[in-house]
A and B are shown apart, each in its own frame.
Chain A
């Protein structure tokens, strides 16, 4: 029997899309209003940025190493011995445009997005969200807007650090471990890697940052049913944001120009 989405599922999907749309609208409105929750923003910048740094560095290092390893094998096998000196631009381009933004986003989604859902979800079931409202704080302004801004700022920052770490790890594998000529490797990398390649990754990272925060907060705010509900919200956050990031990554890669000729 051919697969067709059932009307009930389609309606549920559209409802959820509508919920996210409304949350995005309210978040944007609150971001551009004058009174910011500065304390909460600083706390989130630290939580998302500083505290994610070790895990991002570790992931980027091994991402760079394994990418270097496979690129080396590929060049050696298909182009021939000696061609490994040309791996530099491929490694740098692949890491900065695709691998590092994706790895960082998925790691931050697992570490921070799930924590947002758990924290806000717990606040929801213990009536703290209602208390916020009764004390004159709009929950979207107090909870969602600072998390979204912090995530949009810090995920690109983490990606930039990850890019650097990944490229150093790739260099380490190709030049130090495999003995490829350092000068030619670096020369090729500098010659072919464009500033725009790195910028593309950072633009994508900013979008992923928004996705992580919005999905984490959305799932947190709609939490129901005690500890089990909080568990469900955190799991859903990681699954939905990871899938959304992977899908969006393709479309962003397709939509963003491959080169602007910027060095």
Chain B
């Protein structure tokens, strides 16, 4: 479904991605783990066309998307729904207008149908009757859930989650993890989750890939990752300050 081949990206003279190879199968949840600043967000933004690679290719359903522009690119982005780290709700629009936003641009539903879909999507994430609220009236967890409702409203094939559990308490983080699993089972979407939260990773992942030093250094099921012989992977999943990963 998604295939990344030899992806390179630098910002100025700083290389961030140095040859990432990754394949995500249809219907699976792939979790990409890595330290803060390791390039996980940069990787996910390439998938949706927000960033263009310096070198390398990205295939979505067999189409190479990294050189696409305009309408051709929009056709591909239509397949993706993205939950942003801080939810990225439009703060000048109500919750209802936020959730409708993608529907108005990607679909040709009538206004009444859109209202019904908005209510359905909000109900799916456990929110009812919040359509008229403004984003600043919501808690952090509610914002993430509205962000998720907005992302699933137009029924994307692929969901991208950027640090879904960051910035919220462990209970709400677990509720978001449950929602990610529900999206997978009920909507049968392919998911790419980037996180450094191992509890969340084990709960939602079919496979886990570790991004380190600009490359994917290990990939496998949660059990395989837990049993990995790679000291870098072991240091990261155990959250130890001492080890081959130098933090200072």
A135 with B45: CB separation less than 8 A = no
Q: What mask results when residues 130 to 147 of chain A are scored 1 for a CB within 8 Å of chain B, else 0? A: 111111110000000000
Q: Which B residues are in CB contact (< 8 Å) with A137?
A: 101, 105
Inter-subunit contact A136/B88 (CB<8 Å): no
CB of B169 closer than 8 Å to a CB of A: no
Binary contact readout B90-105 vs A (1 if CB under 8 angstroms, 0 otherwise) = 1110000000011001
Knowing A127-B84, A127-B85, the reply to whether A134 touches B90 (Cβ < 8 A) is: no
**How far apart are the CA atoms of A123 and B91 in the complex, in Å?**
9
Do the beta carbons of A136 and B77 come within 8 Å of each other?
yes
Question: Is A134 in contact with B48, judged by CB distance below 8 angstroms?
Answer: yes
User: How long is the Cα–Cα vector from A58 to B7 in the complex, in angstroms?
Assistant: 58
Q: Within 8 Å of chain B (Cβ to Cβ): is A126?
A: yes
CB pair B101–A135 under 8 Å, yes or no, is yes
Instruction: Kindly provide the distance from the CB of A32 to the nearest chain B CB, expressed in whole angstroms.
Output: 15
Q: Judge if B109 is at the interface, Cβ distance under 8 Å.
A: no
**Assuming the A-B contacts A135-B101, A135-B102, A136-B106, are A127 and B77 also in contact, with contact meaning beta carbons closer than 8 angstroms in the complex?**
no
Having A122-B91, A136-B106, one finds 17 other A-B pairs with CB under 8 Å, namely A119-B92, A126-B88, A127-B84, A127-B86, A128-B89, A128-B90, A130-B84, A132-B90, A133-B48, A133-B49, A134-B77, A134-B81, A135-B106, A136-B74, A136-B77, A136-B102, A137-B101
Q: How far is the CA of A137 from the CA of B78 in the complex (A)?
A: 11
Judge whether B50 is part of the interface by a CB distance below 8 angstroms: yes
Q: List 9 A-B contacts (CB under 8 A).
A: A122-B91, A130-B82, A131-B88, A131-B89, A133-B48, A133-B77, A134-B81, A136-B106, A137-B101
A interface, over-half SS: helix
In the complex, are the beta carbons of B80 and A134 less than 8 A apart?
yes
Residue on A nearest B49 in the bound complex, by CB: A133
How far apart are the CA atoms of A136 and B80 in the complex, in Å?
A: 10
Q: Which residue of B lies closest to A134 (CB)?
A: B82
Known: A135-B105, A136-B102. A130 touches B88 (CB 8 A): yes
Distance in angstroms from A157 CB to nearest chain B CB is 23
Q: Which residue of B lies closest to A133 (CB)?
A: B50
Q: CB-CB < 8 A to A133: which residues of B? A: 48-50, 77
Q: A135-B150, A136-B78, A136-B106 are in contact. Are A130 and B45 (CB under 8 A)?
A: yes
A130 to B50, CA, bound (A): 7
A136–B48 Cα gap in the complex (Å)? 11
Q: List A111-132 residues whose CB lies under 8 Å from chain B.
A: 119, 122-123, 126-128, 130-132
CB-CB < 8 A to A119: which residues of B? Answer: 92
Across-interface contacts of A132 in B (CB, < 8 A): 90
Cβ–Cβ < 8 Å partners of B90 in chain A:
123, 128, 131-132
Which residues on the A side are within 8 Å of B101 (C-beta)?
Answer: 135, 137
* B82 contacts across to A, CB distance below 8 A: 130-131, 134
In the complex, the answer to whether B77 meets A126 with C-beta atoms within 8 Å is no
User: In the complex, what's the smallest C-beta–C-beta distance from A260 to chain B, in angstroms?
Assistant: 43
Q: Which of A179-231 contact B (CB under 8 A)?
A: none
Complex CA gap A242/B50 in Å reads 33
A135 to B156, CA, bound (A): 11
User: What chain A residues lie within 8 Å of B106 (beta carbons)?
Assistant: 135-136
Given contacts A134-B77, A134-B80, A136-B74, contact A127 B105 (CB under 8 A): no
In the complex, chain A residues whose CB is within 8 Å of the CB of B88: 126-128, 130-131
Interface centre among A123, A131, A137 (most CB of B within 10 A): A131
Chain B residues within 8 Å of A123, by CB: 90
- B86 near A126 with CB under 8 A, answer yes
Residues of A within 8 A of B45 (CB): 130
Q: Closest CB of chain B to A46's CB: distance in Å?
A: 13
Chain A minimum-CB-distance residue to B74: A136
